[in-house]
Amino acid sequence: MTGAVGTDLLDAALADHGLCLRGRFSPGGPAVAMPSGAGTASAICLVGHAGGAFWPVFEAWRAAHPGIDDPLDTWSKSVITPIAEAAGGEAVFPSDRPWQPFQQWAMAAEGLKPSPLGMLIHPDYGLWYGYRGAILFERAAMARMVTGEPSAGTGLAPHPCDTCSDKPCLSACPVEAFTPAGFAVSDCRSYLKSEAGWDGCMHSGCLARNACPVGRSYRYSAGQIRFHMAAFG
């Protein structure tokens, strides 16, 4: 993949690794600086996954690269950076300073809104998705060639939580860590260190997240869930 490309070629390159373009937009607020310092971004394309399509690819890579710190972040960079460069853009990642506002970018690119758990919820994928990075394009002409005319994400289905009367996610947490006041991180982590927490959320995934009825077909595999829970706990 060289020179100017379209979203179909970008998607094809990412699909080889179980990733995909998750949305795009043109920054309309504060300027987003390019990592190289060459200027500011004219378009931002989010790269991520729905469900666990990338997990077998990542697991195979991790088996071939044992002992690496932060393996998922390292793998993401090894995949997305060369694809971004080949497309004439630059990659940025949630794990790197300066911290980029990926949550705000997702709201702009895909029209997502927060769930009662604080996580953005997708009308199809529910809470079972993620963003592994973003590709920034500095020149407007290149941005249009790669992404088409960038625009804010619109047209998604209505916010699924608005029609969910029971809100099972709010009653499923054993320590009631999710309230209108926010997420009680210390209460959650203390529970995860207990025997009940180890047998429950650490083994099977966050009970509150599991309780959400949206996007259950995209739920992560047991191995992926335990990996993420270990990283959080």
| Tens digit of each residue's pLDDT (9 = 90 or more) over 153-168 | 555 567 899 999 999 9
What does the pLDDT read at residue 155?
A: 53
What residues does 46 pair with on adjacent strands?
23, 134
Across the range 199-209, mean pLDDT stands at 95
End-to-end CA distance of the chain: 39
What span, in angstroms and rounded, lies between the C-alpha atoms of 108 and 160?
18
What does the pLDDT read at residue 36?
A: 87
Per-residue confidence band for 5, with pLDDT thresholds at 50, 70 and 90:
low
CB crowding 106-128: b at 16 or more within 10 Å, else e: bbbbbbbbebbbebbbbbebbbb
- Express each pLDDT in 83-122 by its tens digit: 999 988 999 999 998 899 999 999 999 999 999 999 999 9
What does the pLDDT read at residue 141?
A: 60
